Chains A and B, each alone.
Chain A
Amino acid sequence: MAVCVAVIGKDNSPLYIGGVGNDTSTDNELSRQWLVHTALDALEERLATTNTGNAGTNTNTARTDLRDLYLGLLYSTDTHKIYGYVTNTRIKLVLVTSSTSPSGSNIRDAEVRTALRRLHALYADAICNPFHLPGDQITSPKFDKQVKNIMMNNV
């Protein structure tokens, strides 16, 4: 199962970082932020290659693959796997799964893709809240609940 989900703004500021597990522990919170932020470089790199790849000559199949919003597995550490998704509006969604737990280690790519797509839909709903100011952190408890739901059930 996913241990952490993050929404990062286009200026790389964290809009939302949520995780399941020992929520109150400060260590846990910090390690989540650390995991997500180490993924940002990999994300940028992936985006850059996507752009230059499209400029060159590509086969059609490669092109559709590169133009997918879902970027796939960014990298994996001993304990975690980190997946990325960048929207057309440059909002970065990051999902971290634990490779030590049995449910997280044999997760399929398609499941992560679905989860991230659902997260994108939730994000689009959350910013349509009239009380949410553009660029602010997402504090909505409803969003939080739905994201936790995705993490527990789907992934």
Chain B
Amino acid sequence: MADDILFELLHSEIINYSLEQSKDNKEKKDMDLSVVEYIGFAAGYKIMERLTREWPRFKDELDTMKFICTDFWTCIYKKQIDNLRTNHQGVYVLQDNAFRFLTNFSNGHQYLEYAPRDIGIKMDSDGSKNLNHNIRSIAAYSIIKEIQELLGTLTLR
């Protein structure tokens, strides 16, 4: 258990650090997450090559999504995705009811505006993984109702 918390602490420190670096450039409230997103992208790109090495070829998009929701999610976030929905036309909705990087937030709306920066890193590791599967995707995430829930929508084109 101790090694789990290390990654979470490192993650939150990376977020703080990169926001601190970019604070001078922008006085406005919108955050510069490009550094964090790049870290996520590169990490996702590299880890996917390892994770999929022993797997048989994915036969279609849905197969890939199942892999993401179970094995990839377990590897990074220590749990499987709670709900996967699709319209079979390239839109996938992933729902995680207790997203790892958000579970430490206290319940309520107080910190709701800060939450997006913490999922920046995650969003891109997700995006890159899809990209790596030769699927161009647009990922958009929203935090709904309870702060610890994460709703991700992947639109494949």
Interface set of A (CB-CB < 8 Å, partner B): 10, 50-51, 54-55, 64, 66-69, 86-91, 120-121, 123-124, 127-128, 133-134
Q: Is the CB of A90 within 8 A of B42?
A: no
The answer to whether A89 touches B56, judged by C-beta atoms less than 8 angstroms apart, is: no
Closest to A121 in B: B53
A66, A67, A90, A128: which contacts B134 (Cβ < 8 A)? A90
A residues near B146, Cβ cutoff 8 Å:
none
A134→B49 contact, CB < 8 A? no
Known: A124-B53, A134-B41. 6 other contacts (CB 8 A): A54-B60, A67-B57, A67-B59, A89-B49, A89-B132, A90-B134
Q: Which residues of B contact A120 (CB under 8 A)?
A: 53
Of the residues B56, B59, B60, contact of A69 by C-beta under 8 Å: B56
Does the CB pair B57–A124 fall under 8 Å?
no
Q: Give chain B's interface residue range (CB within 8 Å of chain A).
A: 10 to 19
Chain B positions within 8 Å of A, measured between CB atoms, are 41-42, 45-46, 48-50, 52-53, 55-60, 128, 132-134
Q: Which of A10, A55, A64 contacts B56, CB < 8 Å?
A: A64
Nearest Cβ on chain B to A22's Cβ, whole angstroms: 32
Answer whether A134 and B45 are a contact pair too, CB < 8 Å, given A88-B52, A88-B133, A90-B132: yes
Of all chain A residues, the one with the shortest Cβ separation from B67 is A88
CA A91 – CA B46 in complex, angstroms? 13
Shortest CB-to-CB span from A91 to chain B, Å, is 8
State whether A124 touches B59 (Cβ < 8 A).
Answer: no
Q: How far is the CA of A50 from the CA of B56 in the complex (A)?
A: 12
Distance of B67 from chain A, by nearest CB (Å): 8
CB pair A134 B42 closer than 8 Å: yes
Tell whether, in the assembled complex, residue B46 and residue A88 are in contact, meaning their CB atoms are under 8 Å apart: no
